[in-house]
Amino acid sequence: MKFYIATTFSLAIILGEAQLGSTQARAGPNAQQLCKNGKRTMFPHEEYCDYYYECINGEAIVQTCPNGLAFAGHQKGLNSNCDYPHRVGCPDGSRVMGQQPISSENCHWQYGVFPHATSCTRYWHCWNGTATIQQCPFSLLYNDAVHACDWPDNVPDCQKHPICKDTPNGAVPIEKSCVRYWLCVGGYPRLQRCPAGLALNTNTFKCELAQTVPGCEPPPTTPQPDDDDELKSGGNENGGQNSRPPQSNGALPQQFRPSQSGVRLVGR
């Protein structure tokens, strides 16, 4: 029994030291030498992205980035000389994150950008363990490979949009619109508009001259008649073309007086 207890206690110490060594970075001799030479004041850790060295009084002291961030450089990054790992290039083939993730609701790490569980257009922005929902701009989807909103054709295995269920790639007309249409790419729509003077031909699904697209022809324009022509063609009651209307004390004839009901005024 005593041997069992002693063995268990020793194993616990060994496991504890192993775990401590795997989660904490230590200053190596090379780092100490760099600080003694006085050539650097702050530089990356050789194994872990989220640790870095700071030279204090000629000694290399290991500093830790906030959970989920990686060392970016002296007075660089978002917080405490650190930035998002994907923005500083971590992992890079030789270095990895050394800390264990500290998770909270919707946050895998305390800091970072993470995908939404059920939505392709939304994602989570985590800052000090607090998650804030973010929405991609119209027609874009969240791409976790680049930790940003991206074109749908760059985001594989995401849900298809109902507009593009029958046409995953191509133009989809918009009802009652001649110039606007949806362009489906990878099953997700992007709103498009034909250039001025053109309309979408639903037979060819191309923007063509509006006058050649049935139902989208521009309305005809008719020149307004000149006022002198109206007076010349008006004539009198007997149909005379050159007869002049009778004058009465210098006043306009009754049919030309503005007070008369039904007279068309200039500009109406």
Residue 42 to residues 24, 45, 98, 185: CA-CA distances in angstroms?
A: 18, 10, 18, 47
Q: What is the DSSP letter of 208?
A: E
Using the predicted structure, report yes or no on whether residue 250 has a pLDDT greater than 50: yes
Statement to judge: residues 94 and 136 lie in one domain? no
Residue 135 lies in a domain: yes
- Dihedral angle, C-alpha 226, 230, 231, 235, nearest 10 °: 160
Q: Give the pTM.
A: 0.54
Statement to judge: residues 75 and 124 lie in one domain? no
Q: How many domains are contained in the chain?
A: 3
Q: Of the spans 121-135, 156-170, 238-252, which averages the highest pLDDT?
A: 121-135
Residue 198 lies in a domain: yes
CA 157 – CA 34 distance, rounded (Å): 48
Q: What is the CA radius of gyration of the chain?
A: 39
pLDDT tens figures, 136-159: 987 788 999 999 999 888 887 776
Residue 257 lies in a domain: no
**Would you place residue 131 in the very low, low, confident or very high pLDDT band (cuts 50, 70, 90)?**
very high
Q: What is the CATH number of the domain that holds 130?
A: 2.170.140.10
Statement to judge: residues 150 and 168 lie in one domain? no
CA 71 – CA 92 distance, rounded (Å): 13
Residue 26 lies in a domain: yes
Q: What is the CATH number of the domain that holds 89?
A: 2.170.140
Give the 3-state secondary structure of residue 31: helix
Largest pairwise CA distance in the chain? 139
Q: Domain residues for 121?
A: 112-154
57: left (phi over 0), alpha (psi -120 to 50) or beta: left
Structure tokens at 141: 């989807």
Residue 35 to residues 27, 47, 60, 61: CA-CA distances in angstroms?
A: 11, 18, 6, 9
Structure tokens at 89: 């290039």
Statement to judge: residues 38 and 84 lie in one domain? yes
Residue 74 lies in a domain: yes
